[in-house]
Structure 1
Amino acid sequence: MHAMQYERTLPADYDTGVIHARVSRVGRLLDDWEGLGLKAYLLRERGVHGSPVNQYAPFYLWNTVAGMNTFLWGDGFRKLSDDFGRPTVRQWTGLAYEEGVAAGSPALFAVRRREPVPEEAVLSETARDAADEAGRLAREEGAVLAAAAMDTSRWERVCFSLWEHDPPKADGDLFQVLHLSAPGRTALDGGRQW
């Protein structure tokens, strides 16, 4: 499993209805994308749920590198870049994936928490703790799923979770889920990834 995200922070007075309309129009284009576990179309709106910014920030869990590369080097990412400019794409190596206790429910909210890994940290313990956190979150009431991953170029871990209700029982940046494309969700390996 590979995790990927890009963010487009928008002006404070940006009409986020444009993003809602865009996702309504193009969101289903990845509903059958080969190699994609899931894509959560995420939005934070300034002043909503305490967000300080307007931000469009889709989050992906990929089953295959080929699927991710087909998206990045093909028309999928090109269209976004043409419309909004080419964003920096963050990537993390998967550590764990867990279906939540509310796995059959629609995902309405997402929480993403990124944390630096301290220089003195024991990497095996950090990875294990991140995997354990994904498991703990998946067992919380309202959890649809949880995943943990690591960016080894920045030594940063990310925990990502989807929720059926607000407020989620997770700490981090809170997003609205505008659409969820999940063609390969059932093929994502559960549990630890090593």
Structure 2
Amino acid sequence: MHAMQYEITLPADYDLGIIRKRVADKGHLLDAHPGLGLKAYLVRERGRDGSPVNQYAPFYLWRTVEGMNSFLWGPGFRGLSADFGRPAVRHWLGAGLAHGAVPDAPATSTSTSTATSTATTTTATRHTVRLSESDDPAEAVERALAELPAHPALHTAAVAVDPSRWELVRFALWRGPAPDDVPGIRYQVLHLSRPELDRLPGGRHW
């Protein structure tokens, strides 16, 4: 498993309706993308959930490197780069995964479609920690895996590591608002593509 994210920070007065429409129009294009565990189409809205910025920040869990490469070198990422400029793409090696209590039920969406108007808003959290020189990376990963939330609202949670920076990331998707005691940046989920999520094994990935 490979985790990936890019962040596109937008002007303070940017109309996020433009991003919502973009996702509504194009989000389904990755619903069957080979090698993709999930893509969460994430936004942060200035002044909401403590966010100081407007931001479009999709987060991916890839099952295969081939799937990740075909996206990065394909028309979808080219189109995004043409519209917003080519963003820096963060990448972490997957260390573990936890499925929620009902993993086969798709997370709901904050789509503006009337068909989903009664659905519970889905949120996401991302918490990153830099490991110090005194930290044992294996022990830090084990602790992070042990601390993955066992919560009835959890949809999916992942732990991954960037060994170039020795940065550990914990990412979680929630059905409804994220619990107050979960640390990290909070996002709204506009759409969730999850073509091969059920093929990502739970537990430790080594």
What TM-score results when the alignment is normalised by the length of structure 1? 0.95
* Residue number in structure 1 paired with 2:47: 47
How far apart in 1 are the matches of 2:27 and 2:147? Answer: 29
How far apart in 1 are the matches of 2:201 and 2:76? Answer: 25
How far apart in 1 are the matches of 2:92 and 2:147? Answer: 16
Name the amino acid aligned to 2:126.
R
> What does 1:44-123 align with in structure 2 at a 5 Å threshold?
44-103=44-103, 104=105, 106-107=107-108, 108-123=122-137
Name the amino acid aligned to 1:173.
I
Q: How many pairs does the alignment contain? A: 191
SS where residue 171 of structure 1 aligns?
coil
> What does 1:163-178 align with in structure 2 at a 5 Å threshold?
163-168=174-179, 169-178=181-190
RMSD: 1.1
CA drift at 1:48: 1.5
How far apart in 1 are the matches of 2:106 and 2:73? Answer: 33
Q: Indicate conservation of the 8 Å contact 1:44/1:175, yes or no.
A: yes
* Residue number in structure 2 paired with 1:155: 166
* Residue number in structure 1 paired with 2:32: 32
Task: Check if 1:191 corresponds to 2:192.
Answer: no
Q: Indicate conservation of the 8 Å contact 1:7/1:55, yes or no.
A: yes
SS where residue 81 of structure 1 aligns?
helix
CA drift at 1:148: 0.4
Q: Indicate conservation of the 8 Å contact 2:125/2:178, yes or no.
A: no
How far apart in 2 are the matches of 1:126 and 1:153? Answer: 16
Q: Report sequence identity in percent.
A: 54
How far apart in 1 are the matches of 2:76 and 2:154? Answer: 29
Gaps of 5+ in 2: 109-121
Residues 62-112 of structure 1: CA distance to partner in whole angstroms, max 9, x if unpaired? 000000000001112111101110000000000111101253252400000
SS where residue 147 of structure 2 aligns?
helix
How far apart in 2 are the matches of 1:117 and 1:147? Answer: 17
Name the amino acid aligned to 1:91.
H
SS where residue 198 of structure 2 aligns?
helix
What TM-score results when the alignment is normalised by the length of structure 2? 0.90
Closer, same or farther: CA 179–33 of 1 in aligned 2, 3 Å? same
Q: Indicate conservation of the 8 Å contact 2:124/2:178, yes or no.
A: no
Q: Indicate conservation of the 8 Å contact 1:95/1:130, yes or no.
A: no
